[in-house]
Structure 1
Amino acid sequence: MSTVGEFDADFYQSNYTIDNQEQGYDDADVYGNPYGVREQPNSAAFVPPEMIASSSYMGQVFQPTYNSDYYSQPTYADSFDEEPPLLEELGINFDHIWQKTLTVLNPLKPADGSIMNETDLTGPILFCIALGATLLLAGKVQFGYVYGMSAIGCLGIHALLNLMSTSGVSYGCVASVLGYCLLPMVILSSCAIFFSLQGTIGTIAALIIIGWCSLSAAKIFSSALTMEGQQLLVAYPCALLYGLFALLTIF
């Protein structure tokens, strides 16, 4: 009876050697390498021609190109230089305000129709505030009357001028002209601060100021609307309007 050691020796005996293993590999090469190590395929054979053509690109992936000509001179850099000044965009031109003021102060000076036919309300608003302020210094709180009569008077003169002229006129132009011609009335109200106008001298001064304001407004309207020979017809309703301001100033 065989022992356990003999059984193990018989069990682990094998004819498989390293020489046979090497011979198996050689035989496999002879018969076309059916079970040997497989050869790696040529990776270049499976590359599409589009990728081969684009392989010459030497840049980096996902990195945008930088164009110095585009970023060095932005398109919006010159836009700020071409914009007009802020006061001009708001319709405030001090040169035109000064020329209109001189035209009103000098009744003999001819009016420039191109300048007067503008809806410039900066000067009229300042003159209305100055008239109310001088009346306030004289002890008369009349701001509401000044603004109310100005708005209603501009509506009436606007309707009248559209009936008399062929070209027509805008409400802003009428308000601008009547407001600038209110400057002599501000002078009269300034005199009322220092002495009373309820007398002969005050009445004569008020009549002169009314004629001054109405003739200046009529001159500007006739020049801007080319109303030849109608200056006195326009001056009459303007005199009625400025007469109301004179009554506020005197009384």
Structure 2
Amino acid sequence: MSGFHQEGEFFQSNYYDNQNYGYDANAQAQFGVEPQFGQFDYSQGYGGSNQGYDQEFMAPDPRAPFTGSIMTPSPMAFEEKAGSGADNYEDEPPLMEELGINFDHIVQKTMAVLNPLKSADHTIMQDTDLAGPLVFCMAFGGSLLLSGKLHFGYIYGIGLVGCLAMYCLLNLMSLSGVSAGIIVSVLGYCLLPMVFLSFSAVLLSLKGVVGIVLVAATVLWCSVSASKLFVSALAMDSQQLLVAYPCTLVYGVFALLTVF
């Protein structure tokens, strides 16, 4: 069954019968010609006049096997599509970079916390990495859980209040201002010494003289590390002691959770 256009309308030719590939006598009487399979030219239209039909559109021969030349796309299209997809995959950044996780910065920040006397690079502090703080918070809560203390809610609550307080304070003290991501990142990384203290609480009691010394040293360690990172990130020269005081209050509350 085939069709053709004339003046915006669509007609179906009854030349061919779907059952025996014959032609209809009514169609023959209408057009006055006897159609031949695969040779009827629609470009001639009625009466041999050209009505604007496509000369390349010929009635297909139903007896001829389908070669697939009409429906088969060009192989170059597949090659171009595959080539463009490969180029896109090569140009895409790594998955960790898309997620905002930089292992080099994580290691550098962790080493800066473990060595509070060493100066930190201010460029790494502009990276608001939250993977390390999340891991250290979970480790702190897990170590307290080993001592029979389920304080995950307190950890997140105190951490949120401490981050808000430090955000307001540092924005008042610094000229350039500070983002909330930097506050959370620095306070979270500097929680690492408190994780060591909570693990030591599993083996010994922190309510004696030894415990008091360990708690005081840990709080001082966290405060010095956090204030050093804040000063290097915000270019707050000669203001480390002023920044270290509120940091001591924040980590002092975490130390109380560890002891009691």
**Pick aligned residue for 1:225 from 234, 237, 240:** 234
Deviations 1:53-87 (A, max 9, x none): x86x6999893785443331212231112111222
For 1:24-103, list aligned pairs within 5 A.
Answer: 46=48, 48=50, 63=70, 66-74=73-81, 75-103=84-112
Deviations 1:161-219 (A, max 9, x none): 00001111111110010000000000011110001010111111111111110110111
- Structure 2 gaps of 5+ residues are 1-43, 61-68
Structure 1 residues 47, 211: CA separation in 2 closer, same or farther (over 3 Å shift)? same
Which structure dedicates a bigger proportion of its chain to helix?
A: 1
Confirm whether residue 205 of structure 1 aligns to residue 214 of structure 2. Answer: yes
For 1:44-193, list aligned pairs within 5 A.
Answer: 46=48, 48=50, 63=70, 66-74=73-81, 75-193=84-202
Partner in structure 1 of residue 225 of structure 2: 216
Give the TM-score taking structure 1 as reference length: 0.75
Partner in structure 1 of residue 249 of structure 2: 240
2:78 alignment partner AA: Y
Q: 1: distance between equivalents of 2:227 and 2:113? A: 11
Deviations 1:120-162 (A, max 9, x none): 1111111111111111111211111111100000000010000
Deviations 1:97-131 (A, max 9, x none): 11111110011222111111222111111111111
Structure 1 residues 60, 154: CA separation in 2 closer, same or farther (over 3 Å shift)? farther
Higher mean alpha-carbon deviation, 68-77 vs 129-138, is at 68-77
- Structure 1 gaps of 5+ residues are 1-43
Q: 2: distance between equivalents of 1:182 and 1:199? A: 23
Give the TM-score taking structure 2 as reference length: 0.72
Q: 2: distance between equivalents of 1:207 and 1:66? A: 76
1:162 alignment partner AA: N
Query: What is the percent sequence identity of the aligned residues?
Result: 54
Higher normalized contact order (CA 8 Å, seq sep 6+, divided by chain length): 1
2:103 alignment partner AA: F
3-state SS of 1:81 partner? helix
Q: 2: distance between equivalents of 1:179 and 1:60? A: 76
Q: Which has the larger radius of gyration?
A: 1
The 4+ residue runs of structure 1 with deviation greater than 6 A are 57-62
Give the paired residue count.
Answer: 207
